[in-house]
Structure 1
């Protein structure tokens, strides 16, 4: 059964009318005081409100310009070089290494291919004036194959002591085992799987964006361990 709320009845008699009038007057007075207080607060705080509004507008405009600039930069990268996953899958190991070198150059690194027999877990080395040195280990695989933890161990052991790297990354057109990704994350070895590779090579994202390498980097454990 639905609950029935009590209905307010009209005041009866002179006394109730007077009481009702007093209550209404008190309520009106309170509302007036609240309105005055709010108005005073606005008058006293208008500089702060103006600054807040201007700051919000400036931040919004900056975000719009930043997004537009990022789209333009990505379009410029793609105009320089775009490699599809289908093209990468059709490459042999050496062609894959050259493609990674060219993608680094597109992103502003001074890169060279060094991969050969006895390369000590480095196929491409790139240098950047603000981002330091990066060592890339390329693993071109057939679809469905996964790169295991042993590759991460090898890169970790040579990135700093041998190649003086600030950043190390393993790149594959396939995938990584769960253990390899976990170990890499724990020990500072970046990994680029098929999905990230597509964003880098085919969609125009820069490698340092995918890896989160800022322009003002801190020399990491690799160089300190060298």
Structure 2
């Protein structure tokens, strides 16, 4: 069966016409009352609305200025030092450690390479005035290589007791296993894989911005655990 079309029947006769007119006037009156109430509400609330508009504008301007400043800072860092993933892949272990040290120096961390036998899971160490001490474990791999959880365990175990670190980071030109990343996230061991390394070395994002490293060294995880 076909669907029945809904038809509006026109008023018939004077009584129905008058009734329809009364309903229409009532609807118009109600709409007018609602519009008047809305105008009164806006009139009473305009200082608050103006303040909201100004606040939103200020926040928007601040965000734009912050973005522009970040881009200028990234461009300045890239002008100082930029390393591509292809260049990292062509390095040996020692060159990789020196490159990470140089990137930290570029970002304002007075870093030094300490890697070698008996380094106790630290290849680069830096002491920052405001952000404390960072320990970096460098894991240079062949293209497509993965870093496992055992590296995270070693870094966690020595960052505080051996190095008095505020931040611990494992950096690779490869990738991490899923378990390694999850374990590092749970236990405060930061990780920089191939994608993050590109953001750091090629795009100019500072490491402390990339990893959101805290500047409150007195509350640092590894100093407390030491």
TM-score of the superposition, structure 1-length normalised?
0.94
Give the equivalent residue in structure 1 for 2:69: 69
What's the RMSD between the two structures over aligned residues?
1.5
Deviation, 1:216, is: 4.4
- Equivalent residues in 2 for 1:122-161, closer than 5 Å: 122-161=122-161
Distance 1:217 1:53, change over 3 A: farther
For structure 1, which segment, 27-36 or 37-46, has the greater mean C-alpha deviation from structure 2 after superposition?
27-36
Correspondence for 2:43: 43
How many Å separate the matches in 1 of 2:16 and 2:178?
79
Match of 2:210 in 1: 210
Size of the alignment, in residue pairs? Answer: 225
Residue 217 of structure 1 deviates from its aligned partner by: 5.6
Deviation at 1:198, TM superposition (A): 1.3
Q: Does the Cα contact within 8 Å between 1:11 and 1:20 map onto a contact in 2?
A: no
Q: Which residue of 1 aligns with 2:98?
A: 98
C-alpha separation in 2, matches of 1:199 and 1:213? 16
User: How much has 1:18 moved relative to structure 2?
Assistant: 2.7
Where does residue 8 of structure 1 map in the other structure? 9
* 1:175 shift after superposition: 1.5
Identify the residue that residue 28 of structure 1 maps to in structure 2: 28
Larger mean CA deviation between 193-202 and 173-182 belongs to: 173-182
Residue segments in structure 2 that go unaligned for 5+ positions in a row = none
Distance in 1, matches of 2:17 and 2:176, equals 83
- Give the direction of change, closer, same or farther, for the CA distance of 1:62–1:8 in structure 2 (3 Å limit): farther
Q: What is the rounded CA distance, in whole Å, between the counterparts of 1:185 and 1:38 in structure 2? A: 51
Moved over 6 A (4+): none
Question: Which position in structure 1 is the counterpart of 2:120?
Answer: 120
1:134 CA drift (Å): 0.6
Q: Structure 1 CA distance, aligned partners of 2:51 and 2:148?
A: 55
Q: More displaced, 46-55 or 179-188?
A: 179-188
Secondary structure, in 3 states, of the residue corresponding to 2:120?
Answer: coil
CA-to-partner distance for each residue in 1:46-88, whole Å, 9 max, x for gaps? Answer: 1011111111111111121111111111000100100111111
- The answer to whether the 8 Å contact 2:135/2:159 transfers is yes
Would the alpha carbon gap of residues 211 and 22 (structure 1) be closer, same or farther in structure 2, given more than 3 Å must change? same
CA distance in 2 between partners of 1:196 and 1:141 (Å): 15
> 1:111, CA displacement in angstroms?
0.8
How has the CA–CA distance of structure 1 residues 6 and 218 changed in structure 2, closer, same or farther, with 3 Å as cutoff?
farther
Aligned match of 1:107? 107
Give the Cα–Cα distance (whole angstroms) in 2 for the partners of residues 177 and 35 of structure 1: 62
Q: Which residue of 1 aligns with 2:193?
A: 193
Contact 1:146 1:177 in 2 (8 A): yes
